[in-house]
Structure 1
């Protein structure tokens, strides 16, 4: 702001001496955003005869507006449907910026006497800054804490970046610490927080980290490792118990489905024919079980035959 006031004062002095006044204004804008260029001429409003806006880049001049021509608005295809111009023609806005819109924009105002009042806007379009990250490059543990080297970076090749570090205790305001992407810290308190600010002239992003997180990872990781081990053991035990249960159930189910041996209840019988011995046949064994010419007596004996039962093992 002070620079713009100084430039305006110099332009006023030059204009009062009858020279051509020209003010240079630096403008920074974000890709896909917008930029507005506005100028208040030193000439009397009733004496201005013509106004011209133009864009200069790589030794190429593009006419944007010229009131000496009809119609006044002359849009190049580069700015088609992306321009807004105020009613008094002193304010120009370009929307949905591209990287090709970076360059020099000029406005020239000429009065009836031929005096020219000019302003130049140097517009630079920047890409948005990605979210930064903080990495720990070097760490030495001490009895009071640790000495750490922190590196702040963004995952891109974005240029024109600056890095600023700040710190604070819990609940307090941030205080300046150092500049640059890499800093060395020796924190006095475990509740300290360090903030890395990455910025270019059009955008700014930041990321923070806690000293306790940096200097005491072993205890935290040890607890996490212990919990992970317990969880793995419990899950393995549950899987084992489920496996045993499924096996026992399957074995019992298979046993109940095996066909049982049924006893052979088929009735078998033989017929035995007997006949009494006569007196003169005593001692003669040749007639035992054979038909006798004498009167015989037939008797039938029934019995049930079964397979022996298998012993349980």
Structure 2
């Protein structure tokens, strides 16, 4: 039996270590290739709803099992969600983080029910096809709150007999960043690009409208949305025309004291007219009475009757 020299022994050890390091490097590069070749899938869910994580597996390939883990957005500590297979699809999270909210819809799709805001984060799955072959996929979940119902406030800037300028402001309670846009008409059409009629400011929350009586569309709608939900609120500018803000557009735009004032004025005019009529009639009757009396006295003198009236009638008494 031939003995190995110390140089041969060192050479064999070097080859063995090199082979082990090469296999380890190959395994690491293979795992990295799986991760790099499968980018993160962006998934969006709404608070209280459900979300699916469907792993992308080619048809005809048998999946032995799937391993899932979770890294929250607000924490560095990750969670081991568990191991799932076609023989064990109803698996409760061993950490209790999700409880009964976690299950498998089929062999490759994970579902989370009753979403919470803290469920947002990275979900990583390792898909095993056999004992040595696997693939990794990742999902980035963002959980959004439902969009609150917006409210529209208005302020009339100026008014003319032909129309008015009004500023509409869309208010949305809550902390979440929301997208705000405006629509017009009953069919919710997007606003035109006419700067002579519309001006949008404050990140879309304020809309200044130059409205004329001949305008076809009087309804303006504020659309508030996030990636998973949206809400609308509408305002009809004709409500301004029918109020005291819209200027001289009709009787409903008169000041509250104007109608009672007109009634008082009308009554005073009627009273003055009656007084004038009474005075005129009295003067007419007085003239008639004097004329009639003078005639009666003249006839009496001619007939020699009532001589005591002579001095009275002569002086017009």
Deviation of 1:111 (Å): 3.1
1:207 paired with 2:226, answer no
Structure 2 CA distance for partners of 1:223 and 1:24, relative to 1, 3 Å: same
1:175 paired with 2:190, answer yes
1:82 paired with 2:96, answer no
1:105 equivalent in structure 2? 123
Q: Say how many residue pairs are matched.
A: 209
Matches for 1:216-295 after TM superposition, within 5 Å: 216-218=242-244, 222=253, 225=256
Pairing partner for 2:43 from 27, 37, 42: 27
1:63 equivalent in structure 2? 80
Matches for 1:107-126 after TM superposition, within 5 Å: 107-112=125-130, 114-126=132-144
**Unaligned regions of 5+ residues in structure 2, if any?**
1-29, 193-199, 245-249, 261-317
1:36 equivalent in structure 2? 52
Deviation of 1:191 (Å): 4.6
Deviation of 1:223 (Å): 7.0
- 1:157-191 Cα offsets, whole Å, 9 max, x none, are 331201010112xx656233567111111134265
How far apart are the structure 2 equivalents of 1:36 and 1:85?
Answer: 9
CA contact (8 A) 1:83 1:94 kept: yes
2:170 equivalent in structure 1? 152
Deviation of 1:216 (Å): 4.1
Deviates more, 1:114-123 or 1:213-222: 213-222
Give the TM-score, by structure 1 length.
0.57
- 1:243-292 Cα offsets, whole Å, 9 max, x none, are xxxxxxxxxxxxxxxxxxxxxxxxxxxxxxxxxxxxxxxxxxxxxxxxxx
- 1:41-84 Cα offsets, whole Å, 9 max, x none, are 248623x444111111122211112259x978351312111122
Structure 2 CA distance for partners of 1:173 and 1:183, relative to 1, 3 Å: closer
CA contact (8 A) 1:42 1:117 kept: no
Which of the two has higher C-alpha Rg?
1
Deviation of 1:224 (Å): 9.9
Pairing partner for 1:193 from 219, 229, 238: 219
How far apart are the structure 2 equivalents of 1:37 and 1:108?
Answer: 13
How far apart are the structure 1 equivalents of 2:65 and 2:121?
Answer: 23
CA contact (8 A) 2:46 2:144 kept: yes
CA contact (8 A) 1:34 1:93 kept: yes
